[in-house]
Structure 1
Amino acid sequence: MSEAAAIEERPASIAVDFLARIRATPEAEAYRFPVPRPGGRDEWKSLTWAQTADRVTAIAAGLHALGVRSADRVGILSETRIDWILADLGILCSGAATTTVYPSTNADEAAFILADSGSTVVFAENQGQVDKLSGVRERLPDVRRIVTFDGAGDDEWVTTFADLEEAGRALLAKDPGLVERLIGEIERDQLATLIYTSGTTGRPKGVRLTHDAWAYQAAAQAMLAQNDENDLQYLWLPLAHSFGKVMISGQLRIGYPIAVDGRIPKLMENLAIVRPTFMAAAPRVFEKVYNTVYTRMKAESAVKQRIFRWSVAVGRRHVAATREGGTPGRVLAVQQQIADRLVFAKLRELFGGRMKGCVSGAAAISDEVAEFFEAIGVPVLQGYGLTENSAGAFVNRFGANRIGTVGLPLPGTEVMIAEDGEVLLRSPAIMTGYHNDPESTAAALSEDGWLHTGDIGELDERGVLRITDRKKDLIKTSGGKYVAPSDVEGRFKGLCPYVSNIIVHGNNRNFCSALIALDADSLKSWAAGAGEGLESMTYAELVATPQVRALIAGYVDKLNGELQRWQTIKKFEILPRDLSVEHGELTPSLKVKRPVVEKQYAVLLDKIYEDTLVH
């Protein structure tokens, strides 16, 4: 079957894919999830597809019993966990639409999202989230019921997840075919998901995504996938974000199980236990592993350091030799085998030892970091998309990973580069618009269905896309020179193993500067071997020392040696703490909110440029 035919023959909704998967492999493992035990240990349990179906249909029927009907909105306010997925599938199978809310969202913004969306029922993770909603109840006139995963019911506004399922099973006992009928009534262009984008200023906008958008993503992923039901995905991404959401769509079509746990501090520990074959992550995760490996290696003996450096150099040469289908020479092939045995196999054990590769999205990953992972045998496939096109538009392929690009478009996705370099997209995954915001919708969508992404990019002769910057983030210095900050920032992350985040600044200034936040773990490892009493200092104390200033200045000098004169970082400041989601400087998908950071550190930035004349 051709790609076009496979895309055109997709079902009307992903709920149909769910039913098909249940019938095809009812006893196969569908999901794996941790159950906390005393002492901080977890016991991992599984659900088969048949067991998943039992719970999902009960949830869908339970929602129906609460009066939820076609295209009604139902919110989910929770961390990534198995209950999130079950609730979402239940909502979809009832014919309703999921409103996603990040658990870190404050009460004011949660109230806005739930009220703006018109959500009538909300799944809340625990008592803390229930209390958050109770505090703004007067602003939620449409919310009839809260369903809590872990909290207690109150026989009035709050019910438990178990009680909802029990009510659903009671209804199904009277009407066994209810959920299948509800799925059969879902129309292709019916609202399935409202995802509110975490804007840098002002209120977030609700992106309206249809049942067809997710059915398309499932069909496109199934066509590209080199994995099967024997693979295992590890899922930690926030499911309130489109990147996390898209990673649970293709599974229904392909049939592999997912191990799900959104607790980020448990990530590396869980990888060793679960031993997945692939996962998706934001670049920050890969950068942190990269930095950790390099800083730990500096504490090893001189012999081990030489072996490590030799092996990585061999790996990088091997990556270069095999790029575009090339073949390494016999000597290089033997060297690669030795490097793999001495170093790379041990590094792969950090990921459980079975990892075929990873998908990176939500922001750009530096070429240096991507080449490192390719060299050790865990290729990181960079992809590209927006919430407005349900996350998936471009992705690199296994065996054809073109580092520095976001690869080829998904089957069924069209791309066009506008005269000003902006990337335009058109596909079944494109949103129908912003909820209650026709003005923003008209600005983002053309009459013939093209989505204006706001990203600047270029296509090569093969159709491979390279994103060069955000249209609105391009810096123009007072000297009239344009600078792409993300390019400079990505280069620095590849050079400096101690950096966590960097923000290049310089719009309408006479030179470029940078605010640099360091990775606390990597910095602590460096301090442990630096002596001079540094090992006992806190992060804030360390970054104020001349030793750390000199350490980072060395990497800034290396960076400047790779840049054009007008791109170079003339001055920098090290921030007293790392950027965080809690302080509003990062989105939940770990993207930097540049305007927020620049506003927060405006005094520091102004100080950089005070009484400064740079030629």
Structure 2
Amino acid sequence: MARKLSLPLDKVQYWEEQKAQEIYLSQPMGNGEVVDYTWRRAVGEARRMATYLKSMDLPAGSRIAIISKNCAHWIMSDWAIWMAGHVSVPLYPTLNAETVRYILDHSGAEVAFVGKLDDWEMMKPGVPETMHCISYPLSPETDFPTWNEIVAQQSPLQPVAERDPDEMATIVYTSGSTGKPKGVMLSFANMAYAAEGCIQALDVTPDERMLSYLPLAHVFERFVVELGSLYAGFHLYFAQTLDTFLQDLQRAKPTLFLAVPRIWTKFQAGVFQKMPPEKLDRLLKIPLLNRVIKKKILTNLGLEHVKFAGSGSAPLAGEILEWYRRLGLELLEGYGMSENFAYSHMSMPGRSRTGYVGEPLPGVETRITEEGEVQVRSPATMMGYYRDPEKTAETMTEDGFLATGDKGEEDELKRLKLTGRIKEIFKTSKGKYVAPAPIENELVAHPMVEVACVSGANQTSPYALVMLGEDVRPRISNPNYRKEVDKQLEHLMEEVNQGLDPHEQLKFMVVVRDEWTIENNFLTPTMKLKRNVVEDAYQNKMDDWYSRSQTIIWED
């Protein structure tokens, strides 16, 4: 029997009445000041902004963009857009001007909220001069009407627009790891089903605390943090900057914490900088010290109160999962896509299995095709791609399953193991197929390696490009340290190759000189590798590398 859904705006109005004086959002403003928004104030400001949007006489369902890093006003803008009868279009705060313009044009956005941004000058040329923009209190210097001025002059919108469950609520643009971003259309029912299912599965309560810092433009953060806090009614904190991240964590004292694999790896590297892994292992084996050491590490990370910690967006190496579990922090991996609002699979406490991304969430059906492709179906599955019926037909099966493009297998408890991307699997010149993702996961488990890209299509054997960690890169000018890196990488490659079939074994590893970043287009805004960009950048050096008889090659 289908469950009756409470839609996002229903929950907004419910908490406005039930928890009017309780703090919902805590926003750092710089200089040590933190502004707390009660539910009454947050919903009240959203209602006033909705009145302003209504006064613009836009057609119902107009698209309104949000270009900002995470902050309290991001969430209030989302509500205001919905209250006024429109559709929100979030943009990553790190996009270049060309992509900004593409998304604004493609979505047909009429208005844009311009918020907290590190490089507005880079993005600004992508926003048409004719577009009506509104700035936040934390926005860069602009001459746009400001949030505070607008809400001071408007009365709260009563009643807000009635929204149908199957009506489009938002268009989420994919991060573009394989070309132009696609606009995923999500309905209010899609979002509501995911939020309620997550809360039910993990028993999330109104007493939780979360820190919001991963981009809200990404479904992972939007689903668990924005919609999770809205449906459970818990307190949400925002990070100020990367430099204050640890202080922000310690201020929030989160009970739920989300991160992508690179953050978990960096946390571990930070611990190892203070205490070498061998020494830490020895101390953790001493019964009297074990508990003290674990508590100290988690306290220093600001994670001592965390009951559920999640990792998603990309696979996390098994060794790192096990390391955190030894500290008493069970990392729950999740799997999902923009196309199902990240609502698909999640590890459950006490039932997680290393190497598996979890079991289906409530209401999710999974099947594996003969080719090994994972296909999923649930009420959280998208309405389709905006203005792209052909791509929608390619991605959705006739019976409503989402073709994920991921290869996978299930165990007896329906836990899912991903074994690669169908489109990323390449063939060597010997006609053998290689799935790069599992090999890359083994490489990035090493503390010296931050990102890896395994390639070798039409070559005799695969190879790996590796970018060293940010604490390693500055030290490689020291010849003795470089020799040590060489030795460790050779040992790593030997270990990884031992677990691979002969046709998958790496012929060599190349240590790249460049740093792969979002800004230079090697990574997506969610820090996923843009494989085609990386491979193209080094293509002309390939013949030379294969002609050498070296195991570890340093890029010239």
TM range (shorter): over 0.9
SS at the partner of 1:272? Answer: helix
Partners of 2:78 and 2:349 in 1: CA distance: 30
Structure 1 position 355, deviation (Å) = 1.9
Counterpart of 1:416 in structure 2 is 367
Structure 1 position 566, deviation (Å) = 2.2
Counterpart of 2:183 in structure 1 is 206
Partners of 2:164 and 2:29 in 1: CA distance: 37
**1:462-477 matched pairs, under 5 angstroms:** 462-477=413-428
Matched, 1:243 2:229: no
Counterparts in 2 of 1:439 and 1:398: CA distance versus 1, 3 Å: same
Question: Does the CA contact (< 8 Å) of 2:69 and 2:117 recur in 1?
Answer: no
The amino acid of 1:548's aligned partner reads: V
Question: Does the CA contact (< 8 Å) of 1:61 and 1:94 recur in 2?
Answer: yes
Question: Equivalent pairs: percent with the same residue?
Answer: 29
The amino acid of 2:500's aligned partner reads: L
Partners of 1:207 and 1:442 in 2: CA distance: 13
Question: Does the CA contact (< 8 Å) of 2:29 and 2:240 recur in 1?
Answer: no
**1:205-604 matched pairs, under 5 angstroms:** 205-247=182-224, 248-261=226-239, 263-298=241-276, 307-311=279-283, 314=285, 338-341=289-292, 343-352=293-302, 353-494=304-445, 496-522=446-472, 527=475, 537=477, 545-604=482-541
1:177 to 140, 148, 158: 158
Structure 1 position 235, deviation (Å) = 1.3
Counterpart of 1:194 in structure 2 is 171
Partners of 2:321 and 2:281 in 1: CA distance: 17
Of 600-609 and 405-414, more deviation after overlay is shown by 600-609
Matched, 1:610 2:547: yes
Q: Deviations over 1:171-222 (max 9, x none)?
A: x3xxx6232xx1xx20111111111112234321111111111111121122
The amino acid of 2:220's aligned partner reads: F
Matched, 1:17 2:3: no
1:26 to 4, 20, 26: 20
SS at the partner of 1:63? Answer: helix
Counterpart of 2:554 in structure 1 is none
The amino acid of 1:383's aligned partner reads: G
Counterparts in 2 of 1:566 and 1:613: CA distance versus 1, 3 Å: farther
TM-score, scaled to structure 1:
0.84
Counterpart of 2:145 in structure 1 is 159
Q: Deviations over 1:356-394 (max 9, x none)?
A: 231111100000001111110121110000001111211
SS at the partner of 1:569? Answer: coil
Counterparts in 2 of 1:56 and 1:451: CA distance versus 1, 3 Å: same
Partners of 2:427 and 2:272 in 1: CA distance: 35
Question: Which residues of structure 1 form unaligned runs of 5+?
Answer: 299-304, 315-334, 528-533
The amino acid of 2:181's aligned partner reads: P
SS at the partner of 1:520? Answer: coil
Question: Which residues of structure 2 form unaligned runs of 5+?
Answer: 552-556
SS at the partner of 1:570? Answer: coil
Counterparts in 2 of 1:120 and 1:576: CA distance versus 1, 3 Å: same
Structure 1 position 397, deviation (Å) = 1.5
SS at the partner of 1:599? Answer: helix
Structure 1 position 439, deviation (Å) = 1.0
Structure 1 position 67, deviation (Å) = 2.3
TM-score, scaled to structure 2:
0.92
Partners of 1:586 and 1:23 in 2: CA distance: 43
Q: Deviations over 1:547-590 (max 9, x none)?
A: 43333222222222333322222211101133111111111111
Matched, 1:53 2:51: no
The amino acid of 2:134's aligned partner reads: V
What is the aligned-residue RMSD (CA, Å)? 2.5
**1:61-72 matched pairs, under 5 angstroms:** 61-72=51-62
SS at the partner of 2:193? Answer: helix
Structure 1 position 433, deviation (Å) = 1.1
Counterparts in 2 of 1:557 and 1:437: CA distance versus 1, 3 Å: same
SS at the partner of 1:217? Answer: helix
Partners of 2:397 and 2:151 in 1: CA distance: 43
Structure 1 position 153, deviation (Å) = 6.2
Partners of 1:132 and 1:608 in 2: CA distance: 36
Structure 1 position 612, deviation (Å) = 6.8
SS at the partner of 1:430? Answer: coil
Counterparts in 2 of 1:422 and 1:264: CA distance versus 1, 3 Å: farther
SS at the partner of 1:467? Answer: strand
Partners of 1:129 and 1:270 in 2: CA distance: 22
Partners of 1:432 and 1:264 in 2: CA distance: 35
Counterparts in 2 of 1:49 and 1:406: CA distance versus 1, 3 Å: same
Counterparts in 2 of 1:31 and 1:422: CA distance versus 1, 3 Å: same
Question: Does the CA contact (< 8 Å) of 2:30 and 2:240 recur in 1?
Answer: no
Counterparts in 2 of 1:137 and 1:555: CA distance versus 1, 3 Å: closer
Partners of 2:359 and 2:223 in 1: CA distance: 17
Counterparts in 2 of 1:557 and 1:268: CA distance versus 1, 3 Å: farther
Structure 1 position 501, deviation (Å) = 0.3
Partners of 2:531 and 2:368 in 1: CA distance: 25
Partners of 2:124 and 2:496 in 1: CA distance: 51
Question: Does the CA contact (< 8 Å) of 1:63 and 1:164 recur in 2?
Answer: no
Structure 1 position 346, deviation (Å) = 1.2
Partners of 1:130 and 1:59 in 2: CA distance: 23
Counterpart of 1:146 in structure 2 is 133
Question: Does the CA contact (< 8 Å) of 2:66 and 2:114 recur in 1?
Answer: yes
Structure 1 position 453, deviation (Å) = 0.5
Question: Does the CA contact (< 8 Å) of 2:104 and 2:127 recur in 1?
Answer: no
Question: Does the CA contact (< 8 Å) of 2:346 and 2:360 recur in 1?
Answer: yes
Question: Does the CA contact (< 8 Å) of 1:27 and 1:50 recur in 2?
Answer: yes
Question: Does the CA contact (< 8 Å) of 1:153 and 1:160 recur in 2?
Answer: no
Structure number, greater radius of gyration: 1
Partners of 2:283 and 2:12 in 1: CA distance: 45
Question: Does the CA contact (< 8 Å) of 2:71 and 2:116 recur in 1?
Answer: no
Partners of 1:414 and 1:201 in 2: CA distance: 26
Partners of 2:375 and 2:521 in 1: CA distance: 29
Counterparts in 2 of 1:102 and 1:544: CA distance versus 1, 3 Å: farther
The amino acid of 1:9's aligned partner reads: K
Partners of 1:69 and 1:15 in 2: CA distance: 20
Q: Deviations over 1:123-174 (max 9, x none)?
A: 0126987766763565x76x3x1011135664xxx321123323432xx3xx
SS at the partner of 1:135? Answer: helix
Counterparts in 2 of 1:337 and 1:467: CA distance versus 1, 3 Å: farther
SS at the partner of 1:293? Answer: helix
Counterpart of 1:329 in structure 2 is none
Of 103-112 and 590-599, more deviation after overlay is shown by 103-112
Counterparts in 2 of 1:280 and 1:126: CA distance versus 1, 3 Å: closer
Partners of 2:88 and 2:371 in 1: CA distance: 36
Structure 1 position 284, deviation (Å) = 0.6
Question: Does the CA contact (< 8 Å) of 1:127 and 1:152 recur in 2?
Answer: no
Counterparts in 2 of 1:117 and 1:129: CA distance versus 1, 3 Å: farther
Partners of 1:401 and 1:542 in 2: CA distance: 43
2:82 to 65, 68, 92: 92
Structure 1 position 485, deviation (Å) = 1.2
Structure 1 position 108, deviation (Å) = 1.8
SS at the partner of 1:383? Answer: strand
Structure 1 position 69, deviation (Å) = 4.7
The amino acid of 1:286's aligned partner reads: W
Counterparts in 2 of 1:506 and 1:543: CA distance versus 1, 3 Å: farther
